Amino acid sequence: MTLFTLTHRSSETGARGGLLRLPHAAEPIPTPVFMPVGTRGTVKAMTQEEVAELGFQLILGNTYHLYLRPGHELIRKAGGLHKFIAWDGAMLTDSGGFQVFSLEELRKITEEGVKFKSHLDGSEHFFSPERSIEVQHALGADIIMAFDECPPYPCSEEATRQATERTHRWLERCTAYHAAQDTPQHLFGIAQGGVYEHLRAESAQFVASQNTPGIAIGGVSVGEPPELMQQAVGWSVPFLPPEKPRYLMGVGTPRDLLDAVGQGIDMFDCVLPTRLGRNGTFYTTRGRINIKGSRYTEDFGPVDPNCSCRVCARYSAAYLRHLYKCDEILASRLTTYHNLAHYAQLMANIRSAIAADRYEAFRRETMAMYAGEEAA
């Protein structure tokens, strides 16, 4: 089974259309694709039925969180993460690296790996490249990620160089450990390099040389200035083999996705549509809005009149505002559902525009559309 097939290339931009074939996906998954984040084995506030109904066939799980709770050995006993959470589609797990490095006060890094304390109970644990892959084998996702060192932002050039070079050595250990096991899982390497052009270029070249079936660009976090994300992608992509899927980790806003697709990215994941949904923020075709605003008190129409999702078809902005004001669970549910529907529709529109070879015009139109209400 070929993991990835390119089906379209934009003549004006770097945008590409493709098909991703994964063991647990019944159908090839069209790219560019957005993966909802299911940190602890649930895309927050959604059922698996709803995630599938929205058209998503590939979701993300977090190795660090699942390793701590309920534990990868329990998930192995259940028959893997797909079975444990009753998800009929494909999955990707991260390596746990990003979470472990975020623990700052609670971790100690050596060449061997990272010793860390659980944020839940303070218990001591150790992740190495081999251990991360071992845990990800137990979880059994279709795509697994190499254990990388994620330098914080901001980070000096020297510290970024050291982290990036360690990431390369760790990638070699991950691929060696993975190759020795019999598993249908695809291990992706991660290119780092921080905010330094030559380090991004070197890292992309190194990871490309390791011949993993897909390549991720890491170290671009939510909250950084969007220019940094665009720069990191722009400095890395030229060195990535065109025939392999490219995954920009942790990105992003709808505008970020439009930019990065234009630079040749195929896969994305981000907590924004789910996390902001729980805050009352709706992504709409007019930009982001917060439903708690008093302007929605008597707005008996849908939150987004241009949206065809089940929430916009049935419930009013005034009702959703009421649910938020009362802190009702249904508020988080309906907003998350709508936001994921918005992302699913955006990705479908992106793929159509690429197929019609009008991606750049589409990108400009959509950026202008988003600009509408956000400034209001």
Q: Active-site residues: which are they?
A: 94, 269
Computed over its alpha carbons, how large is the radius of gyration of the chain? 20
What is the spatial distance between Cα 358 and Cα 351, in angstroms, rounded to a whole number? 10
SS3 at position 328:
coil
Q: 161 vs 321, which CB is nearer to a second copy? A: 321
In the complex, the smallest distance separating the C-beta of residue 119 from a second copy, rounded to whole angstroms, is 13
Q: Is residue 333 at the binding interface for a second copy, with CB under 8 A as the rule? A: yes
Largest CA distance in the chain: 62
Candidates 84-92, 141-149, 239-247, 364-372; binding stretch for a second copy (CB under 8 A): 84-92
Pairing of the two strands 29-31 and 33-35: unpaired
Q: How far is the CB of 334 from a second copy (least distance, A)?
A: 7
Tell me if 100 contacts a second copy by CB under 8 A. no
Nearer to a second copy, 32 or 273 (CB): 273
Site pattern 258..277 for a second copy (x: CB under 8 A): --------------------
Count of residues interacting with a second copy (CB under 8 A): 39
Which of residues 47, 110, 211, 352 is near a second copy by CB under 8 A? 47
Q: Give the contacts of 313 (CB within 8 A, at least 6 positions apart).
A: 302
* Of 107, 205, 93, the residue nearest 152 (C-alpha): 107
In this chain, which of 52, 78, 103, 271 binds a second copy, going by CB under 8 A?
78
Handedness of CA 156, 269, 48, 336 (dihedral sign): positive
Question: Given candidates 27, 112, 243, 328, which one binds a second copy under the rule CB under 8 A?
Answer: 328
Close Cβ partners of 368 (under 8 Å, ≥ 6 residues apart): none
How far, in Å, CA of 265 to CA of 318, rounded? 38
**What is the Cα–Cα distance from 291 to 331, expressed in whole angstroms?**
10
Q: Which residue of 12, 26, 69, 108 would you call a contact of a second copy, by CB under 8 A?
A: 69
Q: Which of 40, 115, 255, 275 binds a second copy (CB under 8 A)?
A: 40
Q: Which of residues 308-327 bind a second copy (CB under 8 A)?
A: 310, 314-316, 318-319, 321-323, 325-326
Give yes or no for a contact between 91 and 82, defined as CB atoms under 8 angstroms apart: yes
Tell which one of 2, 11, 12, 49 touches a second copy (CB under 8 A). Answer: 49
Q: Is 118 in the site for a second copy (CB under 8 A)?
A: no
- Cα(174)–Cα(276) distance, integer angstroms: 34
User: In this structure, are residues 190 and 148 in contact, taking their beta carbons and an 8 Å threshold?
Assistant: yes
Binding site for a second copy (CB under 8 A): 40-42, 44-49, 69-70, 74, 77-79, 83-86, 297-298, 300, 310, 314-316, 318-319, 321-323, 325-326, 328-330, 332-334
